Amino acid sequence: MTTLIVVLCIILAVIVFLQIGKLTELTAKIRGEKNAQYASNRWNSVLGMIFMIVFLLYCIISAYDMKNYMLGFGPHSAASEHGGALDSVFKITLFFTGIVFVITHVLLFWFTYKYHGKEGSKAKFISHDNKLEVIWTAVPAIVMTFLVVGGLNAWNKVMVDVKPDEKVLEVEATAYQFAWTLRYPGADGLLGTKNYKLIGGSNDIGQDWTDSKNYDDFKADKLVLPVGQKVRIRIVARDVLHNFYLPQFRVKMDAVPGMPTYFVFTPVKTTEEYRAELKKYPEYNEPSDPKDPNGKKKWETFEYELACAELCGNGHFSMRREVKIVSQEEYNKWVSEQKSFYLTSIRNTDDDPNKGKKLAIDPVETVKDTTKVNVVEPVKEIK
Amino acid sequence: MSAIANHPETHEDILIREQGFDDHFHDHHHGDKFQSNFITKYIFSQDHKMISKQFLITGMLWAIIGAGMSIIFRLQLGFPEESLLWLKPLLGKWITVNSEGVGKLAPEFYYALVTMHGTIIVFFVLTAGLSGTFSNLLIPLQIGARDMASGFLNMLSYWFFFLSSIVMFYSMFLSTGPFSGGWTAYPPLSALPQASDGSKTGMTLWLVSLTFFVVSVLLGGINYITTVLNLRTKGMTMWRMPLTIWAFFVTAILGLLSFPVLVSGFFLLMFDRGMGTSFYLSEIYVNGKALENVGGSPILYQHLFWFLGHPEVYIIILPAMGLVSEVLSVHTRKPIFGYKAMVFSILAIGFLSFIVWAHHMFMSGVNPFLSNFFVIFTLIIAVPSAVKVFNWIATIYGGNLRLNSPSLFAIGFVSLFISGGLTGIFLGNSAIDIQMHDTYFVVAHFHIVMGVAAFFGMFAGVYHWFPKLYGRFMNDTLGKIHFWGTLIGAYAIFWPMHYIGMAGVPRRYYSYDNFETFNHFAKINQFITIAACVVFLLQILFVVNFFYSIWKGKVVTERNPWESSTLEWTTPIEHIHGNWPGNIPTVHRWPYDYAKDGKDYICQVEPLGVGEEDSGSH
């Protein structure tokens, strides 16, 4: 029944519109085509001015209203060392494009209004103006040069890999449909070798158990990182393309099967510090659970998040991992609680190629040394 | 439509009869051999005007399907809590009903809809529907040719498009659903049937369909290029061609050079899917099994895809730019400002479009050093684009503007092109792209600059050349309602997406509930969905206006209703084989002599006066 009514309404609306259309055609005939066109010119040029003013106001007001979600403004500031550089490129671009946007729109609709066809008005024959054209080719070219230089400066600093002697924590994120496996190097600071053919059963990322570097590696269900420590994420995909995306840190890089990629960054704000910043903004002082108005506020439950940003299949939207940035002491404490995956789950099971053999690490049960941060193992060259 | 055959001879007719070029066309008396019965006239037609209509109407059908799909997935995004049970009669098993009787869109079908929406709109509507329609209609008419260089290839071009359409349409009814890995079809997702249901038969048909489509584009393109180069009438030098022709010409060249690369990418993908090769596959463990493939690179596909993919956006936007330039000039009653600068900027954009493809791949794992070049070239495109915008605005300056549906859509195009073009400056800068890549900011950017803007160019073209297509006018009042509604509505849909994107919300998410960073925007998403529904209904109004006007619209009584100086308006209102009944016109001047020497307009067939200089020559 409802469907029928909706269909009838649409048909009725179409008929009404067609009749309006017919009617205006008829009145135009009566008034004379020319006069009707002049009237239409006047109306539509006025509408154009109204549109332009309302539209520009809407743009400015909505931008002000949404400023807390813009890069580098309010609570949406970067939580990584390099993020600020990107945010400032964004701001400069916003400034220049904003000016161009307003000027061109004002001119477009103002000219439309001013030069709409009126009784007795005539067009001017202006075919070109070389001086003007040189100016408006040169000015955008100069502005673009400025933006390119600024942008590339930031880009080449951000994307640089770690140097061989640099102190860095390397963590591996392996993406698969539809989750992440996060692997930390253990006390040796080195991630053990892998082979995708070994994946299966208890070995979800294909660690090679004959490689002693793997013995102390551990996996975590959260990405926990110490604040102020340079981190190199080794990004790996097991099946299809994924993307390692940390929105608050301005980190994004595809995970490509068969080709490990990386992103190097330094977190500068702990989760607690970021929460304290969010507390200042009203939108984060709303209850995080709408059904429980007296429960925790949004800023209290805030967590950094890891998301997938490359379409990877039906569960693409659900690849979440929590990210925690903590102080170095907390991090050390956390690491000391982690257990080596090999020693807890593989050692002396049927999956262990070293079953029965004595290893130098026996009978170590937990990772001991936590402070030693690590030398990066050379990764496969990126093409 | 035939009552107007005995029209009195106009001034232009006399000029063409006396000074035109006699190519002995009608001496052969085979004139209507190709249009003698229903099938050769309306179905397997070799006449460019009929093929143009075929492209237009097929494109419109696809546009309705493609836009309708976006409404369905917008309902999911805007109203994730609402039951979609009422769509079950249409979508069947793709609406899953839970124990409470609430119907939900299945995620796999959400992704299938997103993928099909993109594929359909980009290829079938804005490539075939736009370029196919207007290149076919205007190239022979505006350069003074009897028809395309090869009417037969032209016919094949349409029918390959039709075949491609049938295959794509069929793929929507598969039990595993159509392809669902995004319109870019990145492997390994698109290469591995194990990874997603949509990558099974749906993907095979997607590849087959688009391969046919490329055949269609190539047959069309080679025809357009040949026609423009060889069949220009006497006096029609390259510098006397209207900007529409320049745009179609460069578009066809872009298509001819880039689409084969896409097909080569598709073939390698087919080999990977069916023959066990490893072009794009390496070290993959999927569905409980480690595959044998090693040594391939998914990045290779991205290079091949975007080598087409980027020129493709100019294949879409250049024809729209050409149409807008022409429409603006005619309705401002003024020459287009800086004709040569416009031509050179089309050429510059066309050239640059081939060396910027990797700006889609800044975050895909390519060497960051390489991105430097692509950033530079990408931002250089802003310069010719800016020149075009300034020239359009300067064209309006000092004009005597006739504000009707075509000119309003042309002005709307300029506004949209500015808005969408400026956000391209953010995205083309790789530093900002780290954050913006694959977020809603990108969605907002490309929908405004190549989606809605191209549609506006197309609407301007349809309203403007409808009298040429069907001998009647479209209703102007409905056209204006369509314009204002769509302009406001399109900005209402896409402007807020910029903010969502700046906040970091990724595109292609079925639901935002899992992430507290992304779930702040329920109200905005609702607003966008409502705006999308309104805009969709307005497009239905356009379709109604279109078909109503074919049979019931106001009849065109003068050959040149817009008082335009180009050649297409010197042909009879009714369509005849060979376009001109006698001689083909000889051209004496550039196409934009409006308001010159106190005359409202001077047709291109009018000889230059004593001591008069062709205004296009400097």
Kindly report the CATH number assigned to the domain that includes residue B114.
1.20.210.10
**CB pairs under 8 A, 24+ apart, for B277-280?**
B280/B187, B280/B188, B280/B191
pLDDT at B314 over 70: yes
Report, as an integer, the average pLDDT of B264-290.
Answer: 93
pLDDT tens profile B349-399: 999 999 999 999 999 999 999 999 999 999 999 999 999 999 999 999 999
pLDDT at B33: 56
List the one residue out of B588, B564, B616 whose CA is nearest residue B20: B588
Short-list A267, A266, A276, A325, CA closest to A297: A276
Query: Nearest CA of chain B to the CA of A359: how many Å?
Result: 29
How far is the C-alpha of B197 from the C-alpha of B207, rounded, in Å? 15
pLDDT tier at A363, thresholds 50, 70, 90: low
Q: Which pLDDT score, from 0 to 100, does residue A373 have?
A: 45
Q: What is the pLDDT of residue A362?
A: 60
Q: Which one-letter amino acid corresponds to residue B3?
A: A
Arithmetic mean of pLDDT over chain B: 92
Specify the number of domains making up chain B: 1
pLDDT at B32: 54
CB-based contact B380 A144, cutoff 8 Å: yes
From the CA of B347, how many Å to the nearest CA of chain A? Answer: 15
Question: Does residue B27 lie within any of the structural domains?
Answer: no
Tell if the CB–CB gap between B290 and A197 is shorter than 8 Å: yes
- Distance, in Å, from the CA atom of A60 to the CA atom of B107, rounded to the nearest integer, reads 36
From the list A89, A127, A283, the residue facing B429 with the nearest CB is: A89
Q: Range with the lowest mean pLDDT among A225-234, B447-456, B594-603? A: B594-603
Q: Please say if the pLDDT value at position A34 is more than 60.
A: yes
- In Å, how far from its chain's centre is CA A278? 19
Q: According to the model, what pLDDT value does residue A72 have?
A: 79
Confidence of residue A372 (pLDDT cuts 50, 70, 90): very low
> What integer is the mean pLDDT of B300-320?
94
Q: How far is CA B400 from CA A29, A116, B569, B604, in A?
A: 22, 5, 21, 21
Q: Is it the case that residue A299 has pLDDT exceeding 50?
A: yes
Q: How many CB atoms lie within 10 A of CB B153?
A: 16
Pick the range with the lowest mean pLDDT from B9-23, B364-378, B427-441: B9-23
Q: Contact B296/B191 with Cβ under 8 angstroms?
A: no
Chain A environment of B492 (Cβ under 8 Å):
none
CA A219 to chain centroid: 25
Query: Residue A350: what pLDDT?
Result: 84
- Mean pLDDT over each residue of chain A, to the nearest integer: 87
Q: Which domain holds residue B479?
A: 35-607
Q: CA B282 to CA B294: how far, in whole Å?
A: 4
Inter-chain CB proximity B393 and A22 less than 8 Å: no
User: Cα(B189)–Cα(B298) distance, rounded to whole angstroms?
Assistant: 10
- Interhelix angle B298-332/B453-470, rounded to 10 degrees, is 50
Mean pLDDT lowest among A11-25, B219-233, B352-366? A11-25
What average pLDDT does the segment A205-209 reach?
A: 90
Architecture of domain A169-268+301-346: Sandwich (2.60)
- Where does the pLDDT of residue B441 fall: very low under 50, low under 70, confident under 90, or very high at 90 and above? very high
Residues of A whose CB is below 8 A from B478: 17-18, 20-21
- Per-residue pLDDT averaged across B434-446, rounded? 95
DSSP string, A325-350: EE-HHHHHHHHHH-B-HIIIIITTST
Q: Whose structure tokens read 């496996």?
A: A181
Best B284, B434, B516 residue to mutate vs chain A (most A CBs within 10 Å): B434
Does any CB of chain B come closer than 8 Å to the CB of residue A246? no
Q: What is the pLDDT of residue A379?
A: 40
Q: What pLDDT is attached to residue B445? A: 96
Q: Residue A320: helix, strand or coil by DSSP?
A: coil
A66 contacts in B (CB within 8 Å)? 499, 502
Q: What is the pLDDT of residues B481-521, one digit of tens each?
A: 999 999 999 999 999 999 999 999 999 999 998 998 898 89
Query: Which positions in chain B touch A104 (Cβ < 8 Å)?
Result: 389-390, 393, 418
**Cis peptide bond prior to B242, omega within 30° of 0:** no
B425: nearest CB among A86, A93, A124:
A93
Average pLDDT over residues A334-361: 83
Contacts for B488 with CB less than 8 Å, ≥ 6 apart:
A51
Query: In a 10 Å sphere around its CB, with 0-12 CB exposed, 13-18 middle and 19+ buried, how is residue B438 labelled?
Result: buried
Residue of A150, A186, A379 whose CA lies nearest to A264: A379
**Cβ-based contacts of A383 with chain B (< 8 Å):** 297, 299, 366-367
Contacts of B181 in chain A (CB under 8 A): 311, 313
Asked if the structure places residue B13 within a domain, the reply is: no
Question: B487 vs A8, which has greater pLDDT?
Answer: B487
Distance from CA of B410 to the nearest CA of A (A): 11
Assign B35 a pLDDT band (cuts: 50, 70, 90). Answer: low
In chain A, where the domains are located: 22-117+133-158, 169-268+301-346
Q: Identify the bridge partners of residue B97 per DSSP, sorted by sequence position.
A: B103
